Every structure is written in structure tokens, then in C-alpha cells.
Amino acid sequence: MPSTSPIVGFLGGQSTLFVLLCLLFIGLIILVFTQVSFIFYPIQVFFSTVVLPVVLATILYYLMRPILRFLEERLRIPRVYGILILLLATAGLLTLVIFLVLPFLRLQSINLFDEFPQYFKQLILDMDNFFKNSIFAPIYQGFNFNVNTFLDSGFESIGKFFTETIGGIASGLTSFVSALTGIILSIVTVPLILFYLLKDGEKLPQTILRMLPPRLRDDAAIIFRDADRQISAYIQGQILVAIAIGIMVSIGFLIIEMKYALLLGVLAMFTSIVPYLGPVIAITPAAIIAMVTSPFMLVKLAIVWTIVQVIEGKFISPQIMGKSLHIHPITIIFVLLTAGSLFGVAGVILGIPAYALLKVVATHVFYLFTMRYNRFETQEEMYYETDSLEEYYENDRE
């Protein structure tokens, strides 16, 4: 048993001087990188270019992989032919959506955008009338709130906003063309990346493992396997849950004769990909339309939305998603807020799976840390308790 302290021994040294030199070396590396960051600009451009097609291809890969396995294992279709069948079927489905569904949704979107300011204006007027004739009237009048002035200035501001936005788009035409080029390149490259992911994606972890030192391969294999399970469960589950919510909301809104029912259902489907915050975003325009239409419509909307949330929370999500991510709701909210502030919409969408991956890696690294720390700890009562971790680790190895 080494005589060094557990921290020093864990870091691989024999004295405190070694630890100080390690910290100094890390500081020097950070300092050098900040001074020569321009050298890494081409790498930054490369990653910003490839990240969108790679992410899209990865999502499609995890959606198509179970179907490909079914075609290959059950129907005995060769893997390459199965991939071609899937790609052709996806292309046909996208064509059907573009030519049949998209024009209808586009028309509804245009109508909604045209009418939504009037819905909002009517909502403000109704609320003003309600407060003037309620028990809160004395308090409300004390604010000296002039609804007509507010609406006029508000719509003026909206007009200015759109004018400035259009001017900004015109002045930033180069950036727009560049972004459009990137999107087109992504659309072209996604099928190619997806084809090779479906063909050789399951061999990729083994290729990476062979590049690692033999001592690290078992631990890295467990991390790869656990990460693959987490991503697969999240992507497949979230997409299926989102589709189910979109269908239920559309049917419910059609039953209660809500305007723009299909468009609002599609909006609910896309926003439900974002946990907790998505339903709030989806219900807001529907609630405004319902309040302006009639109080009874608002009651019917509340009933439909409650039924959808109960069915999704009690039956659909537990069956499809299960407890695969093991992430506390408060943690999910903090991750969404942080990722959204740092990376915008992309951060909100990808924040949860990225956190799940980091959690997998951190869990395994912490296990290795406890094992190595206990090895250099001279007092047994100071050991980490690792029984549960060892059990988890051994089960994962099996």
C-alpha cells in the first residue's frame, strides 16, 4: 500500500509537488489555447457545418434501426436492400407530406397569422371589460390603464418590429444565403450519412474500442452500450409520444370544433418533444382562440387538454418511455433553461439527450474514481461505499 495521500496517489504521483505541477500544467494549456484560439477557427467551422446533418442522420438512424433489424432478422432481407427499402419508403412519405399535407397546413398557418392579432386584441378588450365590471374594479381603475392607448401603441410596435425585421433580413442577405446553402447541403448529405450509419453504425463502437488501450476497453464498451440504450430509448420514445399527442389533440379539437384544429395538433406534436415546457407553448394559442370564441369553448378546450395529458402521462409515456432516462423533473427544467440560454432552440431540443449522455459517462467515471480512490485510501472507514455501483457495473457487463 503506497504511503502517499489518497488524492496524490489517485492522480498517479508520489508527492504534493506532483499535484501542483499538474495544476500548473493545466493552467498553462488553458492560457495557450486562449491566446491562439484563431488556430482552431477552421475546426469550429467544420463542426458547425457537419453538426446539423449528423444530428438529423443520427435521429433517423435510431428511428430506422429497429425496422432494419426486423427486415434483416425476421424477413431475411439483406442489410443493404433493407436500407434501400427504408430510404425509398422515407422519401415517399416525405413526398406525400410535402404535396398533400403541407399546402393545407401552410394555408391554415397564413390564416392564423393574419387573424391572431385580432384574437389577441379581442382578448385584451374582454379582459378590460371583465376587470371594469368585477369586484376588482376600484383597484383596476387605480392603475389608470387605457386599453385603447395600449392596443394602438402595441400594434404600432408590432409594425415597427416587422419593418425592422424585414430590413435586417434584407441587409443580412449574405448570411441568409449562407444559412440556406448549409441547409441544402444538410438535406443532400443526410441520406448519405444515414446510409452508412445504417450499414456500419453498429460496427463503429468496436472500431473505436480497438483504438483504445486494452485496459480501458471493457469500461469503454459498457459506456458505449449504456449511451446507446439511453439515446435509442429517448429518441424512439419521444418521437412516438409526440406523434400520439399530435393525433389526440387534433382529434379532440376537431370534436369540439376548434378553429385550426389540425394546425394546433401539429404544433402540439412538435412542441411536445420539449418536456414540460412544450405543452405550455402548445396550449397558449389554442387558449387565446378559445377564450375569444366563447367561455364554453374554453371549458371544452380544458377538458380535451386534460384528457390528452392524463392519457399521455398515465398510459402512453409509461409504456413507451418507461423510466429510461432516470432524470428528475427539476433537473430537466434546469437543463432546458440552461441549454436554451446557451444554444437557443437547438439547445432546448438536444439538451436532454446530451445531459443523459453526460450522465452515463459521469456515472461510469465516478465508479472508476471510487475504485481508484479506495485503492489509495489507508483507512477502511474512509472508503467509498461502492456495493450498489459494483452491482450496477457487473449487471451492465453481463
14-34 residue pLDDT tens: 566 777 787 888 888 888 888
Task: Please give the model's pTM, rounded to 2 decimal places.
Answer: 0.70
- The Cα–Cα gap between 117 and 112 comes to 9
104 vs 184 pLDDT, higher one: 104
84 pLDDT band, cuts 50/70/90, is: very high
- Closest CA relative to residue 233, chosen from 243, 245, 222, 225: 225
Q: Which residues of 56-84 are buried (b: 16+ CB within 10 A; e: fewer)?
A: bbbbbbbbbbeebeebeeeeebeeeebbe
71 vs 326 pLDDT, higher one: 71
> What integer pLDDT is reported at residue 130 of this predicted model?
75
Q: Which amino acid is at 360?
A: V
Question: Dihedrals φ, ψ of 241, to 5°?
Answer: -65, -40
| Inter-residue contact 219 to 209 (CB < 8 Å) | no
- The Cα–Cα gap between 316 and 321 comes to 8
Phi-psi region of 77 (alpha: psi -120 to 50; beta: other; left: phi over 0): beta
Distance from first CA to last CA of the chain, Å, rounded? Answer: 31
DSSP assignment of 154-215 equals: HHHHHHHHHHHHHHHHHHTHHHHHHHHHHHHHHHHHHHHHHHHHHHHGGGHHHHHHHHS-HH
Q: Which three cell numbers stand for residue 389?
A: 455501483
Predicted confidence (pLDDT) per residue in 106-133, tens digit: 888 787 777 777 777 777 777 777 777 7
Q: Which of 221-225, 259-263, 328-332, 375-379 has the lowest mean pLDDT?
A: 375-379
- Closest CA relative to residue 72, chosen from 61, 85, 88: 85
Distances (CA, A) of 197 to 58, 165, 347: 8, 40, 24
pLDDT at 85 over 90: yes
- The Cα–Cα gap between 218 and 223 comes to 9
Predicted confidence (pLDDT) per residue in 244-298, tens digit: 899 999 999 999 988 888 888 888 888 888 777 778 888 888 888 888 888 888 8
> What integer pLDDT is reported at residue 162 of this predicted model?
45
Give me Rg for the CA atoms of the chain: 28
pLDDT at 7 over 70: no
pLDDT at 170 over 60: no
> What integer pLDDT is reported at residue 173 of this predicted model?
42
2 pLDDT band, cuts 50/70/90, is: very low
- The Cα–Cα gap between 270 and 48 comes to 24
Residues 6+ apart with CB under 8 A from 18: 8, 11, 12
The helix/strand count (H/E) of the chain reads as 17, 0
Residues 6+ apart with CB under 8 A from 292: 119, 122, 123, 126
What secondary structure letter does DSSP report for 12? T
